[in-house]
Structures are given as C-alpha cells and as structure tokens.
Amino acid sequence: MFRSSLRQLSQGLRDRTYSSVELTEHFLHRIQAEDDQLNSFITSTAEMALAEAATADRLIAAGQHGPLTGLPLAHKDIFCTANVRTSCASRMLDNFISPYDATVVARMRAAGLVMLGKTNMDEFAMGSSNETSYYGPVRNPWDLERVPGGSSGGSAAAVAARLAPAATGTDTGGSIRQPAALCGLTGIKPTYGRVSRYGMIAFASSLDQGGVLTQSAEDAAMLLQVMAGFDARDSTSVAEPVPDYSATLTHSLAGLRIGLPDEYFADGLDPAVATVIEAAISEYEKLGAKVQRISLPHSHLAVPAYYVVAPAECSSNLSRFDGVRFGHRCQDPVDLNDLYQRSRGEGFGAEVKRRIMTGTYVLSAGYYDAYYLKAQQARRLIRDDFQQAFEAVDVIMGPTSPSTAFLLNSRMDDPLTMYLSDVYTIAVNLAGVPAMSIPCGEVAGLPVGLQLIAPYFSEARLLNIAHCFQQTSDWHRRIPVAFAGN
C-alpha cells in the first residue's frame, strides 16, 4: 500500500480494497519500524489516528465521504493541532499542547484526512538542513549520511521513505521546495495569502506560506483543494476563488512559454545538476513548450534582503515566548528579568538566537534605514523582476537547489554557506509568487528538483505543468531502496 499515491489510495478506499483503519495501521507500522533511522517524526498520534480512521470508515460505509476521506497524512510540527503537542522543534515549546487546530489542520480534518503525527523540522523553521531541531537531525532516506533539506525535512523524509503518503510543510524561503528537491518529492509553495496562516506558528509573517509535500502533482492538487481559500482569521488571506485544481492537470502545454533566468544557471550551480535540469527542460520542449532566456537582474539581492527581513520579523514574532504565558519557563527565577533571560536563553537554540539578534539589530534606531528599509527596497525590485518576466513568459524554470543533498554536519559551522542553500528559492517568497519543485533526475543516486515559478494565483497552471512532466517521466515514483521493501 505504501507505494501508492494518494490518488490510488483514495480509489482503494472507495473500492473497499482496504479500510482506512487498515491503511492507517499500515503507515503507523512503517513509522514504528523505520523511523528510528530517519527521526522524521517528533510525535506520533497513533491512537487518535485510528479513531479518526474508524470515523472515516463509517462515513465511507454510509456513502458520506469525499475524495480525501480516510487518507492518512502527517503535519509539520509548526501547525497547531488541538490536544497534541506542537513543538516547532524547539525546547521552548516542548511542553506546549495546542488548545486549537490551525486552519489548515481543521480543513484537512473536516475533509476526512487522518493525522499520523507531527513531523520534525528545523527549530522554528529556521534552517535548510533540518539540523537545528531540538529533537535531533533528520536523515535523508536516499542516503542516511545526508540531510533531507529543511526546514520541512521531517515531512520530506517521511514522504520519501513512504512512512506517510503526503505531508504538510511551510515555506518562508524555500522550506517546502528545497527538501522536496533533496528527497525526490513534489512540493508546492502557493501564492502568499492563498493558504491561511492561522495557527501556523509564525517565523516571518510576510513570507511564510503553508503547502504540501507529495509524491505527485496530482496528489498536491487534491490536498491544495481543501487547504486553499479565504480565512477570516488570517488578515493576509486573500478572498480569491479556489479553482478546481484537478480539472486542469492534463491541459496541453503546446505553446507554453518557459523562461530560463540567466542568474539561475550561473556560478555556484553544480554542473551535474545543471545537466539534469537542462534535460528536463528539453522534455518540456517535446511537450510543445517554447524556451527563452530571461533575466531576473536583482536575484543577487534576494539572500541578503531575506536575511534582514526574515530575522526582523522573527525577532518580533518570537518575543511572545517569554516564559510567562506558555512554553518553557526557567526554574526559580529571582525576578522578571531573570525569568525572561533564562527562559529564552534555555528555550531557544543557537540558530534561533542568531536570527533574533540579527533582527533586533536591523530594526534598531540608527540601523533601521541602512538595513531594514534597504532590504524592503530590494524586495520591491525583486518583485518587479518577476512581474516583468511574466509579461514575456508563462512560467520560469530552473534548479530548486544548487546541489543535491549535502552531508550531515557539513554546513552547520558556516551559516553563510547554509544560507546559500536557498539561493534559488528565496526570491519567490520575497515576491509572494507561487512555485513548485518536482523531481526530474538524479546525480550519483541523489534526487534533483526542477523549480517552476508562476504568476500570482497560478497554482492550477503550475500543477498542470508539473503533472504533464510526471506523465512522461517516473522520477516521482522512485522510492529509496532501503525503504522500498516490505
């Protein structure tokens, strides 16, 4: 069963080939048997999952089910889940049991999806390797010595090893697309405002967006269908109608205008990765697409602008963790300052502290204009680059990551090199446009991801473009050997 896509599992449930309880037990068993190697889950919610599956089976028996009823999935531990620990992979929230569901979780629950558990991630979603988690690093199922990418590394590893058929993720600077690329999965970061951020623990509020990591574009379309849409509880949620994402998957790509940015094929890109990306693009030409070179001239400003804006917003968002209201509180504080200092000092890990300190610095009087304001100006230029590019092309393609999965511990002492892991993904978040990563080949047995970027609210087009590629290739069906047995 674990080899099947969400679409196939949905059919299996409707045909009564298996029940939701059987399906859920199957994945829970895989998690139990295999996850010691990966560390992809922080919390497994087996009991709750079986109860939800039993409810789903009753709905299916009564004919009151939808396409997602009874399908298991995992949630990144950044989404609040009622009565279940929501840690954000931080010691700060190790003891936090959320009293409510995030909108994404609530909508998926209402659609009948069964939650298997909460997946590991970089602490507060800060990282590109899933090595900053309080619960330890996650390993890449394709090579256990390598990182799965981050910050949604637990979700990526779990789906790649088929411990879950799909998982949610969040993407602030690449955290869905980059781990999807490094683990051979399909990942979509929707337009900013497409998916509600309510109950999704905030890192950088103007960049954060929820999405999914799946085996295929077809599966992503099914899940996005229930996640997307206006939510009055998120003031940046957009009241744009949600199209039927599955209806347009097979539209012809004849005449599709693809733009390849010069800046995404320059120095810093592993030449072997470049070769795989170029081969994937020629597949699109066979499908009738027309390719042209374009320029996104302010690309070089993306990483520096991001590492001002994201820390600035995170320093503000994370000020709520003060040891008073919820989360970690130090032992026997002598006074209020001691309470704040030790609770935060003990609760946050090194990378989170680095970001908070950078953020407070760039927002402080005297530095605000030089850093924060400048970064906001760069952000506008980056957005304008995309706007201009989309006058000439329908979709932008390039690599998701400059390299395949790197070795554990190889970038942890060098934050700047770590930050460059997202050199091709970050501009998308600064602009707010939607993007995907799809598996398109391998280098030395490790997956390579092709990034697709489209104009605002063109998720349907992205899914269509991704699906057509997946109709003519089988990269997305490959399972790492170590996890492909029984």
Cα 444 to Cα 451: distance, rounded to the nearest angstrom:
20
How deeply is 16 buried, as exposed, middle or buried, from its count of CB atoms within 10 A (0-12, 13-18, 19+)? exposed
Taking the complex as a whole, the smallest distance from the CB of residue 345 to ligand GLN amounts, in Å, to 21
Which residue stretch of 28-36, 165-173, 230-238, 458-466 sits at the interface with ligand GLN (rule: CB under 6 A)? 165-173
Single out the residue of 69, 140, 172, 209 in contact with ligand GLN (rule: CB under 6 A): 172
Site string for ligand GLN, 192-221 (x = CB under 6 A): -----------x------------------
Give me the catalytic one of 20, 87, 175, 403: 175
Q: How many CB atoms sit inside 10 A of residue 217's CB?
A: 28
Taking the complex as a whole, the smallest distance from the CB of residue 122 to ligand GLN amounts, in Å, to 7
> Applying CB under 6 A, what is the total number of residues that bind ligand GLN?
13
Give me the catalytic one of 151, 196, 237, 246: 151
269 phi/psi in degrees, rounded to 5: -90, 125
CA distances from 209 to 49, 145, 279, 381, 457 (A): 26, 29, 30, 21, 13
Site string for ligand GLN, 402-431 (x = CB under 6 A): --------------------x---------
Torsion sign, CA atoms 366, 367, 372, 377: positive
**174 touching ligand GLN, by CB under 6 A:** yes
Cα 442 to Cα 458: distance, rounded to the nearest angstrom:
28
Taking the complex as a whole, the smallest distance from the CB of residue 198 to ligand GLN amounts, in Å, to 18
Which residue stretch of 90-98, 170-178, 288-296, 458-466 sits at the interface with ligand GLN (rule: CB under 6 A)? 170-178
- How far is C-alpha 214 from the chain's CA centre? 10
Give me the catalytic one of 76, 216, 421, 437: 76
How deeply is 173 buried, as exposed, middle or buried, from its count of CB atoms within 10 A (0-12, 13-18, 19+)? buried
**Closer Cβ to ligand GLN, 175 or 451, answer by number:** 175
Cα 250 to Cα 218: distance, rounded to the nearest angstrom:
10
Taking the complex as a whole, the smallest distance from the CB of residue 474 to ligand GLN amounts, in Å, to 28
Site string for ligand GLN, 88-117 (x = CB under 6 A): ------------------------------
How deeply is 271 buried, as exposed, middle or buried, from its count of CB atoms within 10 A (0-12, 13-18, 19+)? exposed
Query: Has 151 been annotated as catalytic?
Result: yes
**169 touching ligand GLN, by CB under 6 A:** no
Residue pair 177/160 in contact by the 8 Å Cβ criterion: no
Please name the helix (run of DSSP H) or strand (run of DSSP E) that holds residue 452, with its range, or none: strand 446-453
**151 touching ligand GLN, by CB under 6 A:** yes
Q: Is the peptide bond before 403 cis (omega within 30 degrees of 0)?
A: no
Residue pair 309/205 in contact by the 8 Å Cβ criterion: no
**Closer Cβ to ligand GLN, 330 or 420, answer by number:** 420
Locate 259 and state its tokens: 């733009």
Single out the residue of 175, 216, 451, 458 in contact with ligand GLN (rule: CB under 6 A): 175
Cα 432 to Cα 429: distance, rounded to the nearest angstrom:
5
Locate 190 and state its tokens: 């929707």
**Closer Cβ to ligand GLN, 165 or 179, answer by number:** 179
Single out the residue of 38, 56, 89, 126 in contact with ligand GLN (rule: CB under 6 A): 126
Cα 192 to Cα 430: distance, rounded to the nearest angstrom:
10
Taking the complex as a whole, the smallest distance from the CB of residue 281 to ligand GLN amounts, in Å, to 25
Single out the residue of 19, 44, 86, 128 in contact with ligand GLN (rule: CB under 6 A): 128
**39 touching ligand GLN, by CB under 6 A:** no
Taking the complex as a whole, the smallest distance from the CB of residue 204 to ligand GLN amounts, in Å, to 8
Own/partner pairs, 58-63, CB within 8 angstroms, 24+ separation = 59/112, 60/13, 60/14, 60/16, 60/19, 60/20
**Closer Cβ to ligand GLN, 124 or 483, answer by number:** 124
Single out the residue of 125, 158, 302, 396 in contact with ligand GLN (rule: CB under 6 A): 125
Single out the residue of 137, 148, 173, 187 in contact with ligand GLN (rule: CB under 6 A): 173
Which residues of this chain interact with ligand GLN, rule CB under 6 A? 125-128, 151, 171-175, 203, 310, 422
Q: Which residues are catalytic?
A: 76, 151, 175
